[in-house]
């Protein structure tokens, strides 16, 4: 047997009528705020000056110093003992560069440690 519940239809308040749109608006405002913070960090950290993909730097992209002594490892190909040994030698070479500097020493930020001492060719 179904019991009849005596629920009265109460009129909705303004908040209940528009809460979905208010939440959408709040999400958009939060997103805009976070994008603003990200752009401020991008500009203040100096990353904007290093970003050669920006349209203003099209003419100087070719002048960027490419690391000529770095041999990249191919992403595709057969997995053989020779390729594994080649990868290990590449890895060891780069690992020695990374761990060969005393992180807390005075010369950790020197031009030589950051590989900035080689003039562009």
Spell out the domain ranges in the chain.
Answer: 13-49
Q: pLDDT per residue over 26-73, tens digit each?
A: 999 999 999 999 999 988 887 777 676 777 777 776 776 665 555 667
Helices (H), the chain: 14-44, 47-50, 81-99
33 or 108, greater pLDDT: 33
Say what the pTM is: 0.41
What pLDDT does residue 55 have? 73
30 or 6, greater pLDDT: 30
Handedness of CA 86, 89, 64, 37 (dihedral sign): positive
Query: What confidence tier does 20 reach under pLDDT thresholds 50, 70, 90?
Result: very high
């Amino acid at each position: 047997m179904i019991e009849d519940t005596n629920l009265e239809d109460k009129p909705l308040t303004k908040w209940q009528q528009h809460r979905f749109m208010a939440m959408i608006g709040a999400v958009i405002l939060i997103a805009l705020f976070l994008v603003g913070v990200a752009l401020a960090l991008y500009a203040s950290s100096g990353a904007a000056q290093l970003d050669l993909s920006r349209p203003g730097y099209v003419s100087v992209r070719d002048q960027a110093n490419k690391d000529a002594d770095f041999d990249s490892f191919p992403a595709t190909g057969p997995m053989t003992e020779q390729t594994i040994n080649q990868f290990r030698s590449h890895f060891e070479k780069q690992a020695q560069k990374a761990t060969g500097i005393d992180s807390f020493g005075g010369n950790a930020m020197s031009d030589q440690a950051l590989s900035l001492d080689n003039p562009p060719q």
